[in-house]
Amino acid sequence: MKLVLGVDTCGPSGTVALALVVDEALEILGQKELAGRTYSATLIAAVGELLAEAGTNLRHIAAIVVVNGPGSFTGVRVGVSAVKGLAEPGIIPVVAVSRLAVLAAKAGVGSAALDAHRQEVYLRVAEEDGSSRQLLAGADEISHISEARCGAPTIVAVCDEGAEMIATVWGGVELRRAEAPTAADAIRLAVPAILAGEFTDLALLDGHYLRRSDAEIFGEAAVKAASQMESGVRVRRMESGDIDGVMEIAAMTDHAPRWGRSAYVAAVDPENQPRRVALVAERGGGLAGFVVAAILPGGEAELESIVTAVPHQRGGVARALFTALKPELRRQGVREVMLEVREGNHSAQGFYRFLGFREEGRRAGYYANPVEDAVLMKVALR
């Protein structure tokens, strides 16, 4: 019989849990939630309360399980440091587990993704030999994984909206949605290691951050244009001579609006009201996609259409179009961009979340054939 303490401070909120392990059976005795950004002030007190409610103390703890990332840099650091402080005086063994592994186990799958913000995800990819690897990935890295492995994972566990952007890159992937992992879930995952005596060397215990530094991220800004050229994508303003090609792309794409020629003519007319920003992407000498946004009163714009030609899908074209669209909108005083998308179009919603959009509301029965709600989404331009 072993008392096990669990600590997870990697996510937007944290948890501490206490469990009893008897042989291979596990009983969760209690769990407390910690509000985000309060871990350094509340973690140790919550552990004390949890132990007191169970009528025990730290001397009776047989092992501590700590989730050591990936996640919030500060949260990971606070959790790992606190566990070291709790474990060292009493020489309590520690098991460190990955939050991605906990999420995957909770969902009953091998692969998992967590929102890493900055248009990236923390990603766990299960390999065919039973091993796994973890990385910080944007759309390009995710695409490369798919190409290198001759196919992406068929099922990926997610627990937050930001991670759903992987569905826009790995077509056909099933997102297995689960509740956010907790300290109790971490203990469940760690039971075999505890029973086998497979503990972490406390001197080597550290956070598993999986995050690039700000210098690495923002230092890449100067080469974004070069990266676009390397991927073969060039974005420019739509012209009247592009309309036939744009309409052909739209006709071959299921989710594209079925506009008549007059709508596209209006989109490239600078005197038309409402004013529009219309851009096209070129790759390999031909049109690869287009985007149209309408300028609305009050510093808003509506993203009316963003479409990638079928042969160029999942190649970064839509991302390049939206990246080029934002400064054009800012120059015209736009502060927020909104859009509406079918409730059932989860792939598109995941892509928009990847671009930074968040759901703002719904319009019941807005779409026909089939009748479906419209999800209203919005992003602020910074």
What is the per-residue pLDDT across 320-355, written as a single tens digit (0 to 9) for each?
A: 999 999 988 988 889 999 999 988 888 888 888 888
Average pLDDT over residues 224-240: 69
On whether both 305 and 249 belong to a single domain, the answer is yes
On whether both 87 and 233 belong to a single domain, the answer is no
Cα separation, 7 vs 184, in Å, equals 8
How confident is the model at residue 223, as a pLDDT?
Answer: 36
Q: Is 60 exceeded by the pLDDT of residue 86?
A: yes
Q: Is 90 exceeded by the pLDDT of residue 297?
A: no
How confident is the model at residue 38, as a pLDDT?
Answer: 93
Model confidence band, residue 221 (pLDDT cutoffs 50, 70, 90): very low
Assessment of whether the complete model's pTM goes beyond 0.95: no
How confident is the model at residue 353, as a pLDDT?
Answer: 87
Average pLDDT over residues 41-60: 96
Whether residue 148 is contained in a domain is answered as: yes
On whether both 172 and 187 belong to a single domain, the answer is no
On whether both 79 and 203 belong to a single domain, the answer is yes
Whether residue 361 is contained in a domain is answered as: no
245 conformational bin, left if phi > 0, alpha if psi -120 to 50, beta if neither: alpha
How confident is the model at residue 70, as a pLDDT?
Answer: 94
On whether both 112 and 252 belong to a single domain, the answer is no
Give backbone dihedrals phi and psi of 296, rounded to 5 degrees, phi first.
Answer: -110, 165
Model confidence band, residue 285 (pLDDT cutoffs 50, 70, 90): confident
Whether residue 309 is contained in a domain is answered as: yes
How confident is the model at residue 211, as a pLDDT?
Answer: 64
On whether both 147 and 264 belong to a single domain, the answer is no
How confident is the model at residue 141, as a pLDDT?
Answer: 73
Whether residue 290 is contained in a domain is answered as: yes
On whether both 80 and 191 belong to a single domain, the answer is yes
On whether both 6 and 112 belong to a single domain, the answer is no
Whether residue 112 is contained in a domain is answered as: yes
Q: Is 80 exceeded by the pLDDT of residue 148?
A: no
Q: How many domains does the chain have?
A: 3
Query: Which amino acid, 167?
Result: A
Cα separation, 234 vs 140, in Å, equals 17
Whether residue 320 is contained in a domain is answered as: yes
Model confidence band, residue 222 (pLDDT cutoffs 50, 70, 90): very low
The parent domain of residue 314 ranges over 220-334
On whether both 195 and 62 belong to a single domain, the answer is yes
Q: State in Å, rounded, how far the first CA of the chain is from the last one.
A: 55
On whether both 186 and 159 belong to a single domain, the answer is no
Q: Is 70 exceeded by the pLDDT of residue 219?
A: no
On whether both 128 and 42 belong to a single domain, the answer is no
How confident is the model at residue 218, as a pLDDT?
Answer: 44
> Residue 231 contacts by C-beta under 8 Å, 6 or more apart in sequence?
283, 315, 316, 320
